Structure 1
Amino acid sequence: MDRLRQRADFVAAASGPRMASPAFVVQSRPRDDAGPVRVGFTVTKKVGTATERNRVRRRLRELVKRLDVISMRPHHDYVIVGRRAALDRGFETMFNDLRSALSRLERQTPRQPSDPKPHANSRTRSSE
C-alpha cells in the first residue's frame, strides 16, 4: 500500500464517491494503471491545533495499517479526511466505521453523468 503525495491525486479522489462516518470521510477513485492501492490522509485546520491534527492523522494511519488489504479495491486511490470526532472516538469503533465505509463504497456503483432534464416550468411554444 502506497501513500498519496500529490495534490492532483487528492483532488481527483474528492470528485469520486465518498462515505462519511462521525470521525472521518472516505473518498475513493478508480485508477487505470496496475499500481497498488494508494491512501492519502488529510486533516483541515478546522479540526484544531497542529498537535490535534497530527494526532488525528496518526490515528487514521494506524487504522489503515491494521486493516486487511482485501477490504480495499485494487487499482484505487483512497483519501481519508479526518474530523474532530476522531480525537475522542474509540479506536475499535473507528476501525469498524472504516471497514463499514469501505464495504459501502464497494457496493456503491460509480456515478454516471446523466442527461440534463428540462426545467419543470419551461414551456415550449407551439408554432401557429
Structure 2
Amino acid sequence: MDETSHQQGPPRRLVNATAPVARALAGRRWMPLWAVIRHRGRRSGTAYETPIAVVPTADASIVLIGLPWGAKTNWARNVVAAGGASLRWHGRDLDLVDPRIIDGDEAQRLARAPVRPVLKRFPAAIVLDRA
C-alpha cells in the first residue's frame, strides 16, 4: 500500500486511548486551550461533541481551530455543511457561525505569534465567527 492510499485522519487507537481524557478536560474553565465543539452529522443528523484545541488569535471575534489531519476531517466538514456550531470553552457556551476552511499559511497569519510554528505543520484550519 503506498502513502497516497492511506485514509486521512488520526490513528484510531490513538483516538480511542485519548478520547476519555480529552472529553473530561475539554471545555472546562481552567483548560484554556481545550474545548468541545458541538455539531451534527451532515448526512445522519446525529449530534456529536468533539474535543478540539482552540488556537489563540489576536482577533477576539473569531475562533481558530487547527486541522492537523486536513480539511477533510469529518467534524470540520459537518460544521461547514451546517453553517456553524456551538463551542464549550472556558466553561461557557459560544455560538459560532460562518465556518470556513483556510490553509496553514492563512492560519499562521491569524494566530498569535507563539503558536504560529505549530500551525506551520498543519495543512488546514477552520475559522469561525462568534455570533
Normalized against structure 1, the TM-score is what?
Answer: 0.27
Q: Which has the higher helix share?
A: 1
Larger radius of gyration: 1
Query: Which fold has the larger relative contact order, with Cα–Cα distance below 8 Å and residues 6 or more apart in sequence?
Result: 1
Normalized against structure 2, the TM-score is what?
Answer: 0.27
